[in-house]
Amino acid sequence: MTRPRPARLVRSERATRDGIPEATVSRLPFYLQALTALAERGVATVSSEELATAAGVGSAKLRKDLSHLGSYGTRGVGYEVQYLIYQISRELGLTQDWKVVIVGIGNLGHALANYGGFTSRGFTVAALVDADARVVGETVAGLTVTGLDSLDQTVSSLGIQIGVVATPGPAAQEICDRLVAAGVTGVLNFAPCVLTVPDGVMVRRVDLATELQILAFHEQRRAAGRLAGEMPAEPQDLSEALGAIGEPRTTLTKSRAEAAG
């Protein structure tokens, strides 16, 4: 069965179609997180300094980022929390619901499926898929795990736009190819491998071990600095360190939002 291509998740390398720099886009979720926490506390307006501190970024950078959204705040008042939440959500495409399939319902797949935090952020886990006959038919987080042979049908009939790959590494590329062929335009890859996708499809890789390695790298440097009687400067971002261990992407640093740019 064919269906119209879903809204593309893809952004160009440096700037989005509407001219917002990628680095700004990567910080928007941190602003949204901080704003949501403020809204939950009943805060109606926030200064750029307060919001910047809450998001872990410099206030000049925050103001510049928000100016790309056409949001400049009001002198002496700051930003309206609810309106800024709306603006950022709209920019991130979170005013629509994104449907997600998780492939590989082992330890990680179970944990992801049972995580309640996706829905409130605009993501619905709509399907769970596994190749193992002992797992197929199991109910996880209210969904019945379906077999791999119906993956294409599941994706197209439910209009799923995002695929989460939680299979072992050797299976990941084939799963990714099948997801893309079925119409998925965004892939979140947890498997320890690099996935190749055609133009128009975006892959994000999550690797906690890599993040730990980067922490270890800096811990080691800090310890060496202590031994030498000095403290090395805290890195502003980790691109140097990442280059050193051959992993080009992460967002860990002294503040996640700062690392994004």
Ligand X SMILES: NC(=O)c1ccc[n+]([C@@H]2O[C@H](COP(=O)([O-])OP(=O)(O)OC[C@H]3O[C@@H](n4cnc5c(N)ncnc54)[C@H](O)[C@@H]3O)[C@@H](O)[C@H]2O)c1
Binding residues for NAD(+): 104-109
If the CB atoms of residues 109 and 163 are measured against ligand X, the closer one turns out to be 109
Residue 108 touches ligand X, criterion: CB under 6 A: yes
Residue 101 touches ligand X, criterion: CB under 6 A: no
Min dist CB 52 to ligand X, Å, is 29
Min dist CB 209 to ligand X, Å, is 6
Binding segment for ligand X (CB under 6 A), chosen from 29-37, 130-138, 224-232, 239-247, is: 130-138
Min dist CB 124 to ligand X, Å, is 20
Pairing of strands 123-130, 146-147: parallel
If the CB atoms of residues 106 and 225 are measured against ligand X, the closer one turns out to be 106
Residue 252 touches ligand X, criterion: CB under 6 A: no
Instruction: Rule CB under 6 A: choose which of 22, 152, 207, 247 binds ligand X.
Output: 207
Instruction: Rule CB under 6 A: choose which of 159, 192, 225, 243 binds ligand X.
Output: 192
Min dist CB 207 to ligand X, Å, is 4
Residues 6+ away with beta carbon under 8 Å from 109: 102, 103, 128, 130, 140, 164, 166
Residue 206 touches ligand X, criterion: CB under 6 A: yes
- Count of residues touching ligand X (by CB under 6 A): 24
Residue 104 touches ligand X, criterion: CB under 6 A: yes
Residue 105 touches ligand X, criterion: CB under 6 A: yes
Residues 6+ away with beta carbon under 8 Å from 223: none
Instruction: Rule CB under 6 A: choose which of 73, 109, 183, 186 binds ligand X.
Output: 109
Min dist CB 136 to ligand X, Å, is 9
Min dist CB 212 to ligand X, Å, is 9
- Tokens representing 18 are 């509407």
Which residue has its beta carbon closest to ligand X?
A: 106
Q: What residue ranges bind ligand X (CB under 6 A)?
A: 103-109, 130-132, 135, 148, 166-169, 171, 175, 190-192, 206-208
